[in-house]
Structure 1
């Protein structure tokens, strides 16, 4: 374990410690750092632009986490019940967005959502030309458009996690549920969904973390614009550190963002954790006798 532990300490633990220490100084990376006390942390909470960026990240949670999990559940539940030739290829295609580079995804969607792009072309073709707009350049549509891109990227990961979980479910539970008269929908909510609690927890943690630390998709599509309509905290971390040369402020924001992610992940783990004494799924007793 020593090599992995050394790597972890050098490239994870040590940078975290340095960032925490730097957050209490005014430092531009070149001159001597001067103590700043808690002023960098105070600026994080009083700056209206940073508060707006945090709100944007919370809104993106709906697109980056809630929607992918729901879509993944629907796809996994459907695929577990049907037997279609070439289904493996279909699953691979649905998972493809997850393995693509974020830069490739951003550039592709930037072209799709351009004012003269295919999306507006389709709207014009079907008689909905009045809805056509510059999706990433409009103050009202830029943030939802980035959210849709995140949904497209993340749902494949959720689907694969849920398919892996469904395979481990005891088939006798489904048979018992059918004997009790449960249809496909009732069977899903009574048997499949309760059994997927561990996979749902993992999917939520991964997607929420991705949403709160997201940088590359936004930087390569809108760079926080138009105006500040798509700014997120990680964007300010980059700007403060590498453009404004305010490493202390950037470190403080990074520390606060990390704490927020840890708190949200802890809440998810508690909320999704299987309660003790939970009623057994429909037909569970009959299926085990």
Structure 2
């Protein structure tokens, strides 16, 4: 089977098409800049798979499509401390029950696998129909099923070959590029894929302002309610140390800041939101804490400083569909 490999600066999620096609020589692999590779078979409108690469973000993604143009598999791979191999960090497979089922339909059965560098992991099977619910287990995988050797540029295999029923390795041909585009993604439309980036600090002050609407990426409508006073902190030394609350490892971020001796109040920010409870099969409204603030002054902060630290999994952020 002959498979055409075409390069582009981005992939348009809405159009399901490459944005700004480029030649293989113009792909920005050595520079670590984002690009995509689209694998197409003759006579098939939808791509076999789309590979999304951004070495500067330690990321390689793989999206597999069926004949109806629906995404059936999403693989998120991360380049960690060892530059020669990739961790199969996250994957989700959709198992459509028929050709009429819409892409990402809530009724579609799916299996999600989360893997971590230390060997831990979680496999979640979301079932539909009678019984429904989710079934969570710890995946038993070999080391070569968790990790993938990093191929050289231009030597990537078609990772979805087995999904598409290909027995023999395909022969690759380079796609023709009608007109080369100048590198750069500054004017890419909002519908284009962008590499995942580390989460950035949000509007912290707004978390303590009742009535403000915020989101955590999962619940689109969350309303800030009145902060709750949870206690006071006595600071007789004039020095405040801040570090991670759940670890004592030596390479975690920490800062120390001078503070006038005295007592300071601790406030807890809270939000109220509604969500569909799977176990009750009903809409539920709840209030949950989001942050704790040590109030050292009534004057709002002008800037925030974030200590740098070595991250275990670079580039983590919400995944876009």
> Does the pair score TM above 0.5?
no
- Scaled by the length of structure 2, the TM-score of the pair is 0.22
Structure with bigger RCO (C-alpha 8 Å, 6+ apart): 1
- Scaled by the length of structure 1, the TM-score of the pair is 0.24
Which of the pair is proportionally richer in helix?
Answer: 1
Which of the pair is proportionally richer in strand?
Answer: 2
